[in-house]
């Protein structure tokens, strides 16, 4: 399990190593076709800032070689905001006083129908709060069966589960799982996640191994930018991705770098990442892993997303509603976070085409299930 692997790496030593990188280290990394984690640290270090244009060109070249001039589109569907966790930065925090919603299967089907009217989406991300007692594996399995007639590709972003549960869901139409470790800083992890199952650091971290053991087709991972030093966190994630590729080599992988947005808890980020730094990180990750899907959500503003889709990003959401029932009714429940790109799916798709790229609505077919 990766929890045993990560113990080999000290957080503070990793931070010092990143900050000690020189321009020579950056040039050596950029001269390589295949990078190790040490090279990755050079490309995300402050020393790499003057090389941003060179990194962008290399990232663009690699992306077009591997993915062509395409952007894959997906849309999230929030089916419950009921949660037993007390994450200090999240609008779904168990202690936040608002009406909790768990959609029925009829309501989920209405949401699916409303999404289909928005555009020809085939990639659906089903999102829940973490409440295993009220929205556990049985509920998720039923939700997958409800959504399956409407979409070819179903991914979930839910509580970490046992390998047996992931395997069971793959037999009910599940294609992928997204899970955010939030931060790899174990000493401070409990501070941000004081209660609930999410407070157990190693259970969440080892969840990716359980996904791999269950044969999940695609695993998405990410850290929440704003909790701890972002450079150290993403280095730990790069090590994690490298480990997963070695041990579960049949699985596809995606990464996401969500920057903290306003939520009901009014948590103020400890770290603020600039657009320039997010671009640097995106380029570095593409150069480090040529085949990983790099995803940007509607947390990011339209102009920035438009620029980055040409330089390394390969998938984007559009038209997102982050509250249960948000597509088919005027919701009374609280959204998880505020979106920044409020363009319709058609507007996003039109912009992608204007920039000379092809919109990919579907990359998995029911016939292969």
- Residue range of the domain that includes 197: 2-9+68-368
Sort strands 123-128 and 70-80 into parallel, antiparallel or unpaired: parallel
Helix (H, G, I), strand (E, B) or coil at 233: helix
- pLDDT of 322 reads 87
Which residues have CB under 8 Å from 353's CB, separation 6+?
Answer: 359
In 10 A of CB 160, how many CB atoms?
A: 22
Tell me which residue has tokens 């950056």: 26
Tens digits of residue pLDDT in 29-48: 999 999 999 999 999 999 99
Lowest-pLDDT choice from 55-69, 206-220, 265-279, 341-355: 265-279
Tens digits of residue pLDDT in 336-365: 456 789 999 999 999 999 999 999 998 755
Rounded CA-CA distance 21/15 in Å is: 10
Residue 341 within any structural domain of the chain: yes
Tens digits of residue pLDDT in 138-197: 999 999 999 999 999 999 999 999 999 999 999 999 999 999 999 999 999 999 999 999
Helix (H, G, I), strand (E, B) or coil at 288: helix
- pLDDT of 95 reads 77
- pLDDT of 45 reads 98
**pLDDT tier for residue 332 given thresholds of 50, 70 and 90:** low
Rounded CA-CA distance 139/134 in Å is: 8
Q: Are 235 and 40 in contact (CB under 8 A)?
A: yes
Residue 20 within any structural domain of the chain: no
Which pair of structure tokens corresponds to residue 107? 């309501």
Tens digits of residue pLDDT in 275-300: 999 999 999 999 999 999 999 999 99
Tens digits of residue pLDDT in 76-129: 999 999 999 999 988 788 877 777 899 999 999 999 999 999 999 999 999 999
Residue 40 within any structural domain of the chain: no
- pLDDT of 265 reads 53
Q: Are 351 and 316 in contact (CB under 8 A)?
A: no
Q: Tell me: pLDDT of 206 over 50.
A: yes
CA dist 119 to 44, 151, 210, Å?
37, 12, 34
Residue 22 within any structural domain of the chain: no
Rounded CA-CA distance 268/270 in Å is: 6
- pLDDT of 92 reads 83
- pLDDT of 340 reads 86
Sort strands 70-80 and 315-317 into parallel, antiparallel or unpaired: parallel
The domain total for the chain is: 1
- pLDDT of 97 reads 72
Rounded CA-CA distance 245/210 in Å is: 14
Q: Are 40 and 288 in contact (CB under 8 A)?
A: yes
CA-wise closest residue to 224 among 198, 199, 256: 256
Name 295's bridge partners: 256, 315
Residue 50 within any structural domain of the chain: no
Q: Are 121 and 151 in contact (CB under 8 A)?
A: yes
Which pair of structure tokens corresponds to residue 110? 């209405």
H or E segment to which residue 252 belongs: strand 252-256
Across residues 263-272, what is the average pLDDT? 75
Which pair of structure tokens corresponds to residue 165? 């549960």
Which pair of structure tokens corresponds to residue 89? 């930065």
Rounded CA-CA distance 114/142 in Å is: 19
**pLDDT tier for residue 263 given thresholds of 50, 70 and 90:** low
- pLDDT of 365 reads 53
Instruction: Report the CATH number at residue 190.
Output: 3.20.20.70
Residue 58 within any structural domain of the chain: no
Across residues 194-201, what is the average pLDDT? 95
**pLDDT tier for residue 367 given thresholds of 50, 70 and 90:** very low
């Amino acid at each position: 399990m990766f929890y045993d692997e990560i113990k080999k790496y000290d957080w503070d030593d990793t931070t010092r190593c990143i900050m000690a990188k020189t321009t020579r280290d950056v040039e050596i990394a950029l001269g390589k076709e295949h990078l190790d984690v040490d090279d990755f640290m050079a490309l995300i270090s402050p020393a790499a800032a003057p090389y941003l244009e060179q990194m962008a060109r290399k990232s663009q070249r690699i992306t077009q070689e591997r993915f062509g001039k395409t952007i894959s589109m997906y849309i999230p569907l929030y089916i419950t905001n009921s949660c037993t966790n007390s994450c200090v930065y999240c609008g779904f925090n168990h202690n936040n006083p608002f009406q909790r919603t768990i959609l029925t299967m009829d309501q989920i089907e209405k949401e699916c129908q409303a999404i289909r009217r928005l555009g020809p989406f085939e990639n659906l991300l089903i999102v829940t709060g973490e409440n295993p007692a009220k929205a556990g594996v049985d509920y998720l399995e039923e939700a997958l069966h409800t959504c399956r007639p409407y979409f070819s590709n179903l991914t979930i972003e839910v509580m970490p589960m046992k390998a047996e549960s992931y395997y069971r869901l793959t037999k009910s139409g599940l294609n992928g799982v997204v899970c955010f470790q939030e931060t790899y800083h174990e000493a401070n992890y409990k501070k941000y996640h004081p209660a609930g199952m999410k407070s157990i650091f190693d259970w969440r971290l080892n969840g990716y191994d359980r996904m791999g053991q269950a044969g999940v087709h695609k695993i998405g991972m990410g850290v929440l930018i704003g909790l701890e030093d972002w450079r150290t966190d993403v280095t730990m994630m790069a090590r994690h991705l490298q480990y997963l590729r070695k041990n579960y080599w049949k699985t596809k992988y995606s990464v996401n770098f969500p920057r903290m947005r306003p939520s009901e808890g009014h948590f103020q980020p400890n770290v603020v990442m600039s657009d320039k730094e997010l671009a640097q990180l995106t380029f570095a990750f593409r150069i480090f892993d040529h085949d990983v899907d790099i995803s940007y959500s509607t947390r990011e503003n339209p102009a920035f997303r438009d620029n980055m889709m040409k330089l390394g990003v390969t998938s984007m959401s559009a038209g997102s509603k982050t509250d249960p029932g948000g597509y088919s009714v005027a919701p009374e429940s609280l959204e998880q976070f505020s979106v920044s790109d409020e363009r319709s799916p058609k507007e996003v798709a039109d912009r992608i085409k204007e920039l000379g790229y092809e919109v990919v609505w579907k990359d998995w077919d029911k016939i292969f299930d």
